[in-house]
Amino acid sequence: MEFKTKINAADGRQELFITREFDLPLKLLFKAYQEPEIIEQWMGTRVERLENKSQGGYQFITIDPRGNEHVFQGVYHEFIPDSRIIRTFQMMKTPFPVQLEFLEFEEIDSNTSKLTIQIIYKSVEDRDKMLELPFAYGINMAHNKLQQIVQSLK
């Protein structure tokens, strides 16, 4: 099966690229980044604050399966509807420094669009650590799921 999301993380660089084509008109793709209720659905987070304008701020709060709160926040440097978002992003109360994100929204045709995200990290090490997180978290999640299944069998 072909995956639509591609990650390009060249060795020894402090940046990475995420690219994805959507079967959606450009306007609908951008709306998914604009409307708090929609962000909450696909990001699985609570939107505390969202100021869709240059120099506006945003804050998301996510509750993990253990009930811990995780706060993600940043500032929009540029917010151009249907075209571009440049923003900072930081996971609060973690050792990870702030990162800089460039999101480019492009129309392919009237029904398809493309999103390119370039993320720049403070160091190569920070980037690699960030890439590792879902790996480490994933094996833990697999474990939790297994535990749930085992418990439901009891």
CB of 146 to other proteins, least distance (A): 8
The DSSP secondary structure of 35-56, one letter per residue, reads: -HHHHHHHHTSEEEEE--STT-
Question: Between residues 55 and 145, which has the closer beta carbon with respect to other proteins?
Answer: 145
- Under rule CB under 8 A, how many of the chain's residues touch other proteins? 39
Of 47, 97, 103, the C-alpha closest to 79 is: 103
Q: Which of residues 82-141 bind other proteins (CB under 8 A)?
A: 94-95, 115, 128-129, 131-140
What does the chain come to in residues? 154
Q: Which of residues 37-76 bind other proteins (CB under 8 A)?
A: 38, 41-44
Give whole-number Cα distances, 133 to 18, 20, 84, 118, 128, in Å. 16, 21, 27, 18, 9
- If one asks whether residue 18 binds other proteins (CB under 8 A), the answer comes out as yes
Give whole-number Cα distances, 75 to 60, 88, 107, in Å. 12, 5, 25
Q: What is the DSSP letter of 135?
A: H
Piece of 22-30, 49-57, 67-75, 98-106 that binds other proteins (CB under 8 A): 22-30
Contact 98, 85 (CB under 8 A): no
Piece of 36-44, 53-61, 78-86, 100-108 that binds other proteins (CB under 8 A): 36-44
Report the interface residues with other proteins, using CB under 8 A: 3-7, 9, 18, 20, 22-24, 28-29, 31-32, 38, 41-44, 94-95, 115, 128-129, 131-140, 142-143, 146-147
